[in-house]
Structure formats: structure tokens, C-alpha cells
Structure 1
């Protein structure tokens, strides 16, 4: 693969693009359901507002825009020399390279997770169309269309099911999801109607594999590897497999003062020992991460021994087999813990996603993009696997997936202290634009 630089853009133009991304991240951060913190969940008024903003920015670049049947915001620009264009919402001719990420957030979120990837994609379009940004065609002669997709529900914050927007695009929507409810008891089906979407048309969001050249996403690393290595960018090799469980430990609620220790069946102590076992077993494994993120004791009175505890388990791994083997070990350990304490436990799996491996060609073009962006490097760019989930996990069902990571100082994410520098965003914009051009120069597949 050629390593010659293909992007004709000055450092000042790249710096201006990065400043625009940072300013728009700030602008989107002000679209929130809760004053003083960032909160944007699926099918909310805030979701509608950021979609309108994204559509406005897409149209500024000459893109045709629509909101699809799942609430994802999409913009499309046809390739050079394209003939008749289907102007219907969602209409398209010929395959497109998809760029994007998500605009929804967790509760009390940072302002860059997902968002920076959508905004960088907009700047890629701007750079590749120079100098005639008002034209309705590419000036760089790309052989495929470009679509930017701002996915609507990567986090799963409202209904507890992640990747809803991208799953709809991948054609893997499950009818059982319509019965999911939020904290107020509103079903997903009802929320669709209230948002102005038709649940009966959800299939229209699905895309066919022959409509997609590939999917490329830029994202902050949600961990510290790049920061520790003093590296601004990395190629992603794969996205971790994941399984999530809701676990219940049952004991016996009795008087805190009147029940001697030899008669206690304390569900909280058993669940606490189980949580420590998750840390001990997973920490001993390579690339397996287990997290207990939610922990509730019942009846919850200060003078009552807890008779029931409910807690969550998020289990991730680079490979599905290793992840499943660790779950087997954890299950055996929980059997032993509860047996010693006279307790019972049960689990319900609420989410499962296989590992998604990034396509070798896309890793190559991203590597070429980073090399052209950072020409003084003496070594190949770093390659790391993503321990966090992304929309590419769903898109992998219908398209090759590639990801570019940007350095995240101290690795903080899903938190207001989440950060990325304008300088690293500038590097990421150039690297991703170079990657698109290297992909366009590849022989037709």
C-alpha cells in the first residue's frame, strides 16, 4: 500500500477543523436534560435537538440528510461523476463509506465519547471537498459515496439495551425489544411513537452489505494505554466481546441485634464476597475485565440483616472463548461461596455481544493514515484492542469495520473529566482523512 500523502490541506486548515470540533463538542454539551451535567438519552427531546444540529452541519457541507426509522441522523454525499440521485429520505445509489459514531450519552457524561467521532467525520467531508465546499460533488474524486451516521443509542442508558440505533442499521433489531421499559415504565414502543417514529417501519433503517464499502469510526480511547505510551493515535485491532448479567443472592432477613452469627444468612456478605471474587479471578486473566457496577440490598433497613442483594456484572474479553471460560469459573466460585454461607444465587443474562475484529485492510489504511500524519515516527503506529463497546460491534454484521483511537488523558471516560486535546483531534482528522483516501486508492474489491 502506498504511503505517499494524499490529503492536500495545510496545517492551518487542519487546526481550524480541530478547533471547530472542540467548539461543537462544547455546543452539544449544552444540550442536556439535567442542568449542570450532560445527559442525552434515546428518543428524548435532547436526542431530537442534537439530530437537528447535526443535520444542519451536514447540510452546510452539501450533504443530503435524513433521520432514519430508528432515529439515527444520516448525511450523504454522492461520489464524483454520479448520475441520477434518489432524493427520497434514505434513498441512495451505489455503495457508501460510512463514517460516524454516536451522540447519546451516559448519565453525568463527558463531552467527547462518541461525539468527537461524529464531528471529526464532518471535518473529513469538509477537507476532502476543498476548495469548492459549495459543490454537490467531491473534488477529491472518491469512487464511492460518503455517509455520516450519528447513531442514536450506543450507550443503552434509557432502556438498558445498548447499540439500538446501530442494530437497526445492521438489520438485527429484535421484536422483543419493543417491550423494554425505562425508569418511568415507558416502553420502547411507546417512546418511538412519542418521538414521532413508526415502530412498524423499523426495518427501513436496515442496510444491505452491498450498500456499504466499510465503516470507519474515530473515538477517544476509553482507557490509559495511549496516554501511558505518550502516543496520540492508535489503530484498533478488535472490539471486546461482552456479556452482562443481573445476579440475585438470596438469604434471610432477620433482626440485626437478635440473630447470632451462626444463624445468619446474610445476602450482602455473600454478594460482597462474590464481587471480590470477580476482581480476583478477572485480574488474574489476560485481557478479561469484570465489573460490578450496581449493588442493591433489601429490605435496606439499618437494623435488618439483608435478605436479598441484586447486583450487575459486566464481563469483557478480547476473545469470546476466554470470556466464557471465565464466566464458568466465576459461576463455580459463586456456587462455593453461597454454599458455605447457606445462600442461593441466580443470574439472568441481559446482553451478549461477540468480539468484532477490525478488517485487515482497514487496519492497513488507518496505519497509513497515521504514518502520513506523524512522519517522524520510527516505529509502526500502536495497535490496541478496545475494551469498550462501540457501534462497530453491530455494524460488523454487515460491513468491514475499522477504528482509530485518540489519546485520552489518564483514560477517564463516562465522566465529566473525560478529555482529548485539540492537537490530538487535529492529528486524528488528518489521519482519518488520509485513511479514506488510501482506501479510495485501493483496487475495487
Structure 2
């Protein structure tokens, strides 16, 4: 038994960690080690990949690139391969994943299980839109190979299914051709939610990647930084050498607090306002700004932190976002890592996928126990009234009623649930 934490570091419970080194070993051992749940790089913020006092199937050793077709960009790989493995191997050959989230330190299996999204949903959808097929191992030993066209019901149940339909062993992915590793980036300060929505709407035609950082605590107005980017064709520019650092220790209190937050947010906004707004940058700092600081989650102190990410429909996006920010400012429970962006007008096929047409707001909050949970109850009310949902990959405390209203296809999903898989999240939201 070893102690395992999620990225939010809200608990430190013992698990029976079982490492699968090869697909054959997984096939042989899985049926003798359930109930359990798959666990990759541990980047789920909450309890989706935890199973305290039970089995945890560690998959990061299943990290082989099986076959890559340099002509078509089709990659066949094991599910424990990280997105960073793929990019650092294949971007120099002119190929990149079409969709990635804010970190590339996650496995392909995790990306599929959470149907992750990036800054370009309006242009490329979610990760699952570029998965051609996958191989799924059930705890009874059955192996299911499925795709958009073959056994598609299993495919769409697994896509976004938070690891509850089986253990993903392999996948085939469609990569996209790129000029190189460069992004043409533009940063625009904004001073109101209306200005943000105007920038978001007007940028979708000409810009592939759009996202914004928002200051959710300072002043009575809402200001932020709108960032947009396109792949760039750049000649004779050397690739920078990245020097990764590690956050050195867990401080006795959260470094994100009522004193530090206004200073951080003020400095971050005006520093980026004064910087050059148009620049050519490497894709890694553009897509994954926090990946260069390993274990940055320690900065929230010994009690960890929550991430609260919601999506609400476009037609109520302005009002709902305004109400959420008003409540956050009133509570003084601010967030430094606050991201506001829009999703395109396209639905994901996954039965439990998070992305949908609308506006998504993601916020990190230090764990201050009841005070933080009280704030979340108020935010939950706004999300539910707006007919929105919370992101399962980030969640650690969503009430069952909000889960059921936000994910109306849950009963359809239950037909594909593997009875030998159980997680902290599944027991909290599904009862098993």
C-alpha cells in the first residue's frame, strides 16, 4: 500500500498500486485485481483516478509508440504515452496533436477518458474528435476494439467516461501537419466582460487558439488578458533550451491568499499590458505555461486546492459569468489561475464529455474547508440555473444533483459501466 494524491492534493490516502508494464501483463492481471481504476500521471485534480484503500492500476509504463505513418500522420500508441512524449518525438518531423489541454504531462488514456479540450475548440473540437480507434480491456478479460464507426456505442461511452468502461490499452490518433514548433501570439488587455465576449467572437474566424486570463478579485470592473494565436511558419529560428524547475517545498500555509492575490494579479496584468503584444513563441510556453515548474501544486500549502471549472450555454454566458465573479469577489476567495474562454458551436459525442457550446470559467481556490465549500454551493446554484455542468477531470466535491442535471446521458452511460471498476468519484456520484 502506498499513499497517492491527486493534483489538488486534497487527500493522501493509501492505495494498492499495481503497475502494468506491458499490455499482456495488464490482460493477465486485471481480472485478478479488481475492483480498481486506472491511474496515469496523476493530473486529475480531484478523485476521478483515486480509489482509496483499493486497487489503482498504474499505466505510465505502457508508454510505447507502436507505429507512426509519416505520410498520413496516424499514430498508433499505448495508452500510457504522454502528450509530451508525442510532441517531442514528432513535432520535429512536422506533426502535432490537434488538441491538447493546459498541460502535456498527461497520458493518452487520460486524455481520452476525460475528452480533454484546448484553446482551439471552435476550430478542432476536443481530443476525442481526433481519436480514430481504441482498444479497451474489461475486467472480465474481454477486449473491445472500437471507433467512431465500429462499436461506436462503446467508443462514445469511453470518450469522457472517466475510466469507468474499462482500461484503455492502445489508441490510434490522427495528428495534424505543422510548419514547425512556432506560434504567432497576440495579447490584448480588456477591461470588461462585454469586451472579452466581443474579442472572443471576433477572433474565431482568423485565430485558431483563443483564451483569456481574468482578474477575478481586483476593482469593481472585470479586467483580463485575451490571448490568441496561430501556427506560424518561421525560418532560421533556433528552438530555445527549456530549463525546467521544481517547486522546492510545501509551505506551511497557502502562498495564494488574500494578501498575495491582489499583488499577484495587479502585477501580472500590468506586466503583460506593457509587454510587446505580438510575438513569435515556441508552442510549449504558449500551450503549457506551468509545465516548466514541476510540482507547482505545492504552492497551495498542506491542505491542497480545488479547481472549479464550469461551462454554461452561450445565451446566458455573460450573465452567469458576471454573477459568478460577483460572488467570488464578495467572498474574497480569489483565484490567480483564472481562465475564461468560449467553446465553439459543436457537441462532443462522448456520453459524459464536458465540452459543449458555451462559456467556460476555470478557477483555482486554496482549500479553506467550509469557507471554500460554502462558496462552491453558491456557484453551483448559478451553474445549475444556467443549465451548465462542471468538469469531471477537475472535480472533487460536486453534489450528485448537479452531476445528474449537467450530464443528462448518465443512464445511457451506465449500460457500459464496467462493474469491476470503482473510484472515489464513481462512488460519490454514482453510488458504486
Quick check: TM above 0.5? Answer: no
Write 1 or 2 for the structure with the bigger share of strand.
2
Larger radius of gyration: 1
Larger RCO (CA within 8 A; separation ≥ 6):
1
